[in-house]
Amino acid sequence: MGAFVIGMGKTRFGPTSKPMFELAQEAALDALRDASLQPDEVDAIIVANFLGGPNEGQLHLNSVLAGIFPGVHVPSWRTEAACASGGVAVHQAVLALARYRRVLVIGVERLSGVVGTQLARNIGMAGDAILDVAEGVSFPAAYALVAQSHMMRFGTTTRDLELVSLKNHANANLNPKAHFYLKKVTQGDIDQGPMVASPLRLFDCCPISDGAAALVVSSERSRDDDIEIRGSALASDVISLSQREDTTSFAATKEAAGRAYAEAGITPGEVDLAEVHDCFTIAEIVAMEDLGLCRPGEAVDAIRAGDSGINGRLPVNPSGGLKAGGHAIGATGVSQICEIVLQLRGAAGLRQVPGARVGVAHSVGGVGGTSAVHVLGAVR
């Protein structure tokens, strides 16, 4: 059975005063419009959201969003797998096609409006409350450990991290829906950014964003510019770095990528572009390796050579990624696939990757505790 993205919609990522409902509604109705569907033509709704409870006092979000479709009584649920919630929801949509013809996936998150210390505590809920949080291993600290391991094993440098940041900010300047659209970021800004968790400085870290993204996934093609989901896979791992043998790569991503490529019948060499989960600059480097786009330790060679730029051999995060496009947690994995869809439709405007036919989206929860990998292909 085929799986096709027949509609997509996305709000701008970044701070806003709009409530969650409005953000979700805007993205959902955009996706329906893009698919030329009425609200009652959707057979199931999957909502991806991470912090609605702790941040907004709102769980049971599938029922809240049923208010977008009153009287329809459509099957719906919310899924949560930390920062991978969106990618997981898209996988669930693919599975749901066994029964439902058209599934609407809505990813949504509001992170602004919560006091900083409280928000840090809430985001920490994606790590182990006992093994990590109680020991002070926040996410910047955990990814700093990954960066240090990677530097020690492979000779990766802070300059390499800076190159990722510079590229993603440059890409975001071509994406009107990016959190940091038209924000000028120089090498000097990055160099002089305050240290967050050594070696990660401010500009190595993605922002926290509000936003929503939506997709209509269908078992049937309806138009020429529908995009096929050729592979969809998840994998998990123990939650804490302290439980792992290797801290330079994520086994869950390698496992999910292997499954997704096998399902799609492709090798990593056939990938034209990737949207990867760069919550920190080091995460983009690790992702390029875990996805098999580069060999372990060799992502930096591609980055130094400019290969991961929009016009390079292997464009990564043309949207600006989480780093500069923004990270509206529950929406992020959905938004990545929106970007791939735009690219494969040839509709990505100034940030269009020339001749893109096959794209990969990669969504991670925690420090690799959950990973979702999707392979999408143009069908024209």
User: Contact at 8 Å (CB) between 316 and 196?
Assistant: no
C-alpha 167 chain-centroid distance: 17
Question: Is residue 195 close enough to count as binding its own copies by CB under 8 A?
Answer: no
Three-state DSSP class for residue 350: helix
Pick from 33, 95, 262, 305 the residue near its own copies by CB under 8 A. Answer: 95
Stretch that binds its own copies, among 72-80, 173-181, 184-192, 350-358 (CB under 8 A): 72-80
Count CB neighbours of 256 within 10 A: 30
Nearest of 290, 318, 321, 284 to residue 303 by alpha carbon? 284
Q: Based on CB atoms, which residue is closest to its own copies, 95 or 152? A: 95
User: Contact at 8 Å (CB) between 108 and 24?
Assistant: yes
Joined together, the tokens standing for residue 133 give 């949080």
Pick from 30, 210, 237, 289 the residue near its own copies by CB under 8 A. Answer: 237
User: Contact at 8 Å (CB) between 164 and 285?
Assistant: yes
Question: Is residue 39 close enough to count as binding its own copies by CB under 8 A?
Answer: no
Question: Is residue 251 close enough to count as binding its own copies by CB under 8 A?
Answer: yes
Question: Is residue 332 close enough to count as binding its own copies by CB under 8 A?
Answer: no
- Binding residues for its own copies, rule CB under 8 A, total 62
Least distance between its own copies and beta carbon 99 (Å): 6
Stretch that binds its own copies, among 5-13, 43-51, 106-114, 285-293 (CB under 8 A): 43-51
Nearest of 206, 24, 12 to residue 107 by alpha carbon? 24
Least distance between its own copies and beta carbon 341 (Å): 22
Question: Is residue 205 close enough to count as binding its own copies by CB under 8 A?
Answer: no
Q: Based on CB atoms, which residue is closest to its own copies, 3 or 273? A: 3
Stretch that binds its own copies, among 5-13, 126-134, 185-193, 194-202 (CB under 8 A): 126-134
Q: Which residues pair with 297 in a beta bridge?
A: none
Q: What is the dihedral of CA 311, 316, 319, 322, to 10 degrees?
A: -150
Question: Is residue 77 close enough to count as binding its own copies by CB under 8 A?
Answer: yes
Q: Based on CB atoms, which residue is closest to its own copies, 59 or 145? A: 59
Pick from 35, 106, 114, 133 the residue near its own copies by CB under 8 A. Answer: 133
Stretch that binds its own copies, among 7-15, 151-159, 231-239, 295-303 (CB under 8 A): 231-239
Pick from 22, 41, 56, 270 the residue near its own copies by CB under 8 A. Answer: 56
User: Which of the 8 DSSP states describes residue 239?
Assistant: S
Count CB neighbours of 349 within 10 A: 10
Task: Give the residue numbers annotated as catalytic, written as ranges.
Answer: 83, 327
Question: Is residue 342 close enough to count as binding its own copies by CB under 8 A?
Answer: no
Joined together, the tokens standing for residue 120 give 């840090």
Q: Based on CB atoms, which residue is closest to its own copies, 88 or 279? A: 88
CA separation for the pair 199, 14 (Å, rounded): 26
CA separation for the pair 346, 355 (Å, rounded): 8
CA separation for the pair 289, 166 (Å, rounded): 20
Question: Is residue 50 close enough to count as binding its own copies by CB under 8 A?
Answer: yes
CA separation for the pair 305, 291 (Å, rounded): 19
Least distance between its own copies and beta carbon 217 (Å): 13
Question: Is residue 121 close enough to count as binding its own copies by CB under 8 A?
Answer: yes
Three-state DSSP class for residue 375: strand
Stretch that binds its own copies, among 66-74, 190-198, 274-282, 292-300 (CB under 8 A): 66-74
Question: Is residue 98 close enough to count as binding its own copies by CB under 8 A?
Answer: yes
CA separation for the pair 173, 69 (Å, rounded): 35
Torsion 28-29-34-35 (CA) sign: positive
Residue numbers at the binding site for its own copies (CB under 8 A): 1, 44-45, 50-54, 56-60, 62-64, 66-67, 70, 73-82, 88, 91-92, 95-99, 121-122, 124-129, 133, 233-239, 243, 251-252, 255-256, 365-366, 369-370
